[in-house]
Amino acid sequence: MIRTAVEDDLDTLVQLIHDLARFERSAGSVGIDRSLLHAALFGDSPTVFAHVAEEGGDILAMAIWFLNFSTWTGRNGIYLEDLYVRPEARGRGIGRSLIAELASIAHRSGYSRVEWSVLDWNEAALRFYRSLGAEPMDEWTVCRLTGPALAALAGEGPPAG
């Protein structure tokens, strides 16, 4: 069953985020905790949304997403920040069902797209996404400003570099 995440799911969601980070070889990069995720999902002005796949009371997978905007289409879209299916639940169509739910939300809401990033070494994920009809955006490179470089550019730290 795919459903919108509720506050009682917070601990499991945080654990799944940590599990995903370990899978993506970035366990040391995770700084989220229950209170940060609670504020993002359920605070006064939620900035993030989450859906879970549940079976027999157990959460098997999650999709965490937020709205973005395309100046080219003039419409919002969905950015899928994290999709994670527990290893023992893979191959059962759960990831597809979660992405299909986001596609349904986007379609009903008049959004122009659902997009996400995938690590270039994750061949299984790339094959799966292609099977859904997703097109890799090979000509685009993701850029990120964070840490000391972010502080420096904001005028709050020493010059980067």
Residue 76 CB neighbour total at 10 angstroms = 16
| DSSP output for 22-46 | HHTT-GGG----HHHHHHHHHSSS-
Report whether 32 contacts 10 (CB < 8 A): no
Catalytic residue among 79, 84, 111, 129: 129
Active site residue 111: no
Smallest Cα–Cα separation from 42: which of 95, 3, 4, 85? 4
Q: How far is CA 126 from CA 21, 44, 62, 121, in A?
A: 18, 36, 18, 9
* Three-state SS at 111: coil
Smallest Cα–Cα separation from 59: which of 125, 128, 2? 2
- Active site amino acids: 129
